């Protein structure tokens, strides 16, 4: 699917690097362990951080976080399903993200278009599973339920934005004006905005 990009499962070191880069998955993990509070301020901060991400990067961040929620609720069938599906997305997008960040990969316009067409459906799947799990959890898993609600809502929000961007790209493809080169790598403001390098401006620029 990604051409020359090797999509082998992530090593523990690579997975740790992604967690450290995105921060939110680490916070989710600590909240589930009772090491971090999940109060109104924390909820607002999570929505704010996730909302600032581009949809392609938000998908990876949500999936990394959902892995922890799924593992914590694996005693429920849908929790185990969430864990498995989140791991699939992380294994699919994680190596690609790292390859671009480290300058080890290139992607042509056709591959970019192929990638973008899958992002909305993957965001929708994550959102649906997270919100479904939220409805299944009992009071003794209140933290997990709140995290599911936050992550699920953000996944659906980014799904809608990703679909809008795809529609815009489809309109641009039917017109003669030049598109920005996928080789451009302009900086994007904010440490929390970490879209895939190389094609971020063309794909998901706000």
Instruction: Provide CB contacts within 8 A for 199, sequence distance 6+.
Output: 107, 112, 115, 182
Looking at residue 98, what is its pLDDT? 82
Alpha helices in the chain (DSSP H): 12-22, 24-32, 40-52, 55-72, 77-101, 109-136, 142-173, 200-204
Looking at residue 50, what is its pLDDT? 95
Query: What are the angstrom distances between the C-alpha of 22 and each of 76, 114, 166, 174?
Result: 27, 24, 24, 36
Instruction: Provide CB contacts within 8 A for 64, sequence distance 6+.
Output: 18, 19, 22, 24, 25, 86, 90
What's the distance, CA 85 to chain centroid? Answer: 12
Consecutive 10-residue runs of the chain (206 residues): their mean pLDDT? 53 85 93 94 94 92 97 95 95 83 66 76 96 89 94 96 82 52 40 43 39
Looking at residue 192, what is its pLDDT? 47
pLDDT in tens, 141-175: 899 999 999 999 999 999 999 888 888 777 555 55
pTM: 0.78
Which tokens hold the place of 104? Answer: 């080890």
Looking at residue 169, what is its pLDDT? 72
């Amino acid at each position: 699917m990604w051409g020359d990009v090797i999509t082998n499962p992530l090593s523990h070191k690579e997975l740790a690097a992604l967690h450290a880069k995105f921060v939110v998955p680490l916070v989710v993990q600590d909240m589930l362990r009772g090491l971090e509070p999940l109060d109104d301020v924390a909820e607002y901060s999570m929505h704010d951080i996730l909302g600032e991400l581009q949809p392609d990067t938000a998908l990876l961040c949500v999936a990394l976080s959902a892995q922890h929620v799924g593992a914590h609720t694996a005693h429920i069938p849908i929790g185990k399903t969430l864990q498995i599906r989140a791991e699939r997305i992380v294994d699919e997008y994680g190596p690609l993200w790292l390859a671009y960040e480290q300058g080890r990969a290139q992607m042509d316009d056709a591959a970019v278009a192929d990638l973008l067409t899958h992002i909305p459906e993957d965001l929708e799947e994550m959102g649906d599973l997270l919100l479904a799990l939220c409805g299944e959890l009992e009071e003794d898993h209140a933290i997990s339920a709140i995290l599911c609600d936050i992550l699920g809502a953000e996944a659906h929000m980014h799904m809608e934005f990703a679909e809008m961007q795809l529609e815009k790209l489809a309109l641009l493809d039917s017109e003669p004006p030049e598109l920005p080169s996928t080789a451009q790598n302009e900086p994007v403001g904010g440490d929390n905005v970490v879209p895939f390098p190389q094609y971020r401006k063309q794909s998901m620029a706000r």
